[in-house]
Chains A and B, each alone.
Chain A
Amino acid sequence: MTAVAPVPRLIEQFEHGLDAPICLTWELTYACNLSCVHCLSSSGKRDPRELSTQQCKDIIDELQRMQVFYVNIGGGEPTVRSDFWELVDYATEHNVGVKFSTNGVRIDEKVAAKLAASDYVDVQISLDGATAEINDAVRGPGSFAMAIRALENLKEAGFKDAKISVVVTRQNVDQLDDFKALADNYGATLRITRLRPSGRGADVWDDLHPTAEQQVQLYNWLVAHGEGVLTGDSFFHLSGLGEPGALAGLNLCGAGRVVCLIDPVGDVYACPFAIHERFLAGNILTDNGFQHVWQNAPLFLELREPQSAGACGSCGHYDSCRGGCMAAKFFTGLPMDGPDPECVQGYGEPALAEDRDKPKSHLDHSRTGGRKGPIPLKLLAMPAKAPQKFCNESPV
């Protein structure tokens, strides 16, 4: 061949979905030693239906066949599963690299040494305040000290490039420089992501999500410090604040296209922020395996169709933000084809001021007394189409 055919932009390719996900999150358990107020999966108690060791290994075999090169393992607190290290070893032996998120509870000196010896395991420690005061208000008493101890153990053992994962809130947005310094101190990389109103996050989102002013502050910080800070492409709803391309990463909702979530019972959701029946694509055990769900689930096929800009169609910034995050809209009770609740043009605010029915997930594994939030009084109509958000880590 001589002529070079015009290649559609990668983002357009991604919109049609890939043969296998790039950014696969796998939550191994709903059990957790903490009860963070913003937990995406309302974790706390183990679910009796959680996958067995063998069922997990079968999924890893399938991921290897599909060439899913790595998984982001989370929970709950994944390390409290008694077979956690067995599964990590099994995955890395089968060409499925592992990055796991932990609050640090099991990262003692011995575990840190084991982790330092592996090339294929990446560790992400969650921290939502650069001080104990701010962190523990969200993640619970003692959780700051626990995370710092884990980081110290990793550093001591010679583990290279741990990640410190921060959910940006109204309370910690002023600490971004402190987080960066903390990460530098431990030879770690800072990762900051957006607060989602998912799981228990729905109950605290109104109070915790950054104000409009803080969103601008966050955007400016990202533009100034974006190099060397991971975001999971979390903040592209902010991209309308500046020149196209000023924010690193892909401008795309990857839900069901390049991203999905496997939950502890083998249910597959469109993304980690969408544990709700509306975004449930199928179950690995009862729907012929993960590959079948990924490639054939009606929900995923729908998400891979061109999406309507809806009420955002006339906005000059639609190409930048694509209407924002579908999970953020859904769980704040906003229309799916309208603006993101944190729309930087301010279109989200009047929508938030109106009466909203916030859809509640059918799942809640919270330990004591369940979620505090209001219970919706009427059923929510199925949203028509589901727009955009992407969670991968700067893959290009």
Chain B
Amino acid sequence: MAFDPDRGWQLHPQVAVRPEPFGALLYHFGTRKLSFLKNRTIVEVVNSLADHPDMRSACRAVGIDDDQLGPYLHAFGVLVDSKMLVAKEDQ
């Protein structure tokens, strides 16, 4: 599924998050792939996805300004491609 920042996303149920000094490690037990969240802001967004109806509002809630959204949306797109993030099913 293509990444749409205007809908809700969540971590794949087989993905675990391990905090690290630089951010976090994501591990997908199904695909056996690792990804790195390279700063703490993006970790905050990922950890708060359940509280927000769509990706844009999750980003705003941790203080990412709209003009800074680009790199984050790109990163989330990569995580969607690698199935780390999946669309919330109830939408």
Q: How far is the CB of B42 from chain A (nearest CB, A)?
A: 10
- Flag the segment in A13-21, A31-39, A259-267, A363-371 that touches B: A13-21
* B22 adjacent to A120 (CB under 8 Å): no
Interfacial chain B residues near A19, Cβ < 8 Å: 18-21
* B22 adjacent to A8 (CB under 8 Å): yes
Interfacial chain A residues near B7, Cβ < 8 Å: none
A292 to B83, CA, bound (A): 34
Q: Which of B21, B27, B41 has the most chain A CB within a 10 Å cutoff?
A: B27
Interfacial chain A residues near B27, Cβ < 8 Å: 67, 69-70
Q: How far is the CB of A296 from chain B (nearest CB, A)?
A: 16
Interfacial chain B residues near A16, Cβ < 8 Å: 21
* B41 adjacent to A4 (CB under 8 Å): yes
Q: A395-B36, A396-B36 are in contact. Are A4 and B68 (CB under 8 A)?
A: yes
A22 to B16, CA, bound (A): 13
* B32 adjacent to A122 (CB under 8 Å): yes
* A2 adjacent to B65 (CB under 8 Å): yes
* A22 adjacent to B25 (CB under 8 Å): yes
* A10 adjacent to B16 (CB under 8 Å): no
Within 8 A of B (CB), among A342-369: none
Closest to B14 in A: A119
Let me know if A95 is at the binding interface, CB within 8 A. yes
A119 to B12, CA, bound (A): 15
Within 8 A of A (CB), among B1-36: 16, 18-22, 25, 27, 29-30, 32, 34-36
Interfacial chain B residues near A99, Cβ < 8 Å: 32
Q: How far is the CB of B15 from chain A (nearest CB, A)?
A: 10
Chain A interface extent, by class: 20 to 34
Interfacial chain B residues near A5, Cβ < 8 Å: 39
Interfacial chain B residues near A395, Cβ < 8 Å: 34-36
Q: A67-B16, A97-B29 are in contact. Are A10 and B39 (CB under 8 A)?
A: no
Residues of chain B at interface, number, CB under 8 A: 22
A102 to B24, CA, bound (A): 32
Let me know if A375 is at the binding interface, CB within 8 A. no
Within 8 A of A (CB), among B66-81: 68, 71
Interfacial chain B residues near A122, Cβ < 8 Å: 32
Let me know if B53 is at the binding interface, CB within 8 A. no
Q: Return the contact of A119 from the options B18, B30, B34 (Cβ within 8 A).
A: B30
Q: How far is the CB of A60 from chain B (nearest CB, A)?
A: 15
Q: How far is the CB of B78 from chain A (nearest CB, A)?
A: 10
Interfacial chain A residues near B63, Cβ < 8 Å: 1-2
Q: Return the contact of B18 from the options A67, A120, A392 (Cβ within 8 A).
A: A67
A74 to B41, CA, bound (A): 38
A16 to B21, CA, bound (A): 10
Q: Return the contact of A120 from the options B20, B29, B65, B68 (Cβ within 8 A).
A: B29
Q: How far is the CB of B27 from chain A (nearest CB, A)?
A: 4
A171 to B25, CA, bound (A): 39
A128 to B25, CA, bound (A): 33
Q: How far is the CB of B25 from chain A (nearest CB, A)?
A: 7
* B16 adjacent to A95 (CB under 8 Å): yes
Closest to B72 in A: A4
* A1 adjacent to B41 (CB under 8 Å): yes
Closest to B19 in A: A19
* B18 adjacent to A7 (CB under 8 Å): no
Q: How far is the CB of B30 from chain A (nearest CB, A)?
A: 6
Interfacial chain B residues near A1, Cβ < 8 Å: 41, 62-63
* B16 adjacent to A69 (CB under 8 Å): yes
Interfacial chain A residues near B30, Cβ < 8 Å: 119
A30 to B64, CA, bound (A): 53
* B65 adjacent to A7 (CB under 8 Å): no
Q: Which of B22, B63, B65, B71 has the most chain A CB within a 10 Å cutoff?
A: B22
* Known A2-B65, A19-B20; 7 more pairs at CB < 8 Å: A5-B39, A19-B18, A22-B25, A69-B25, A69-B34, A122-B32, A396-B35
Q: Could you pull out 9 A-B pairs where Cβ atoms are within 8 angstroms?
A: A1-B63, A7-B38, A7-B39, A18-B20, A20-B18, A22-B25, A67-B18, A67-B25, A99-B32
3 shortest A-B CB distances, which residue pairs?
A69-B27, A67-B18, A13-B22
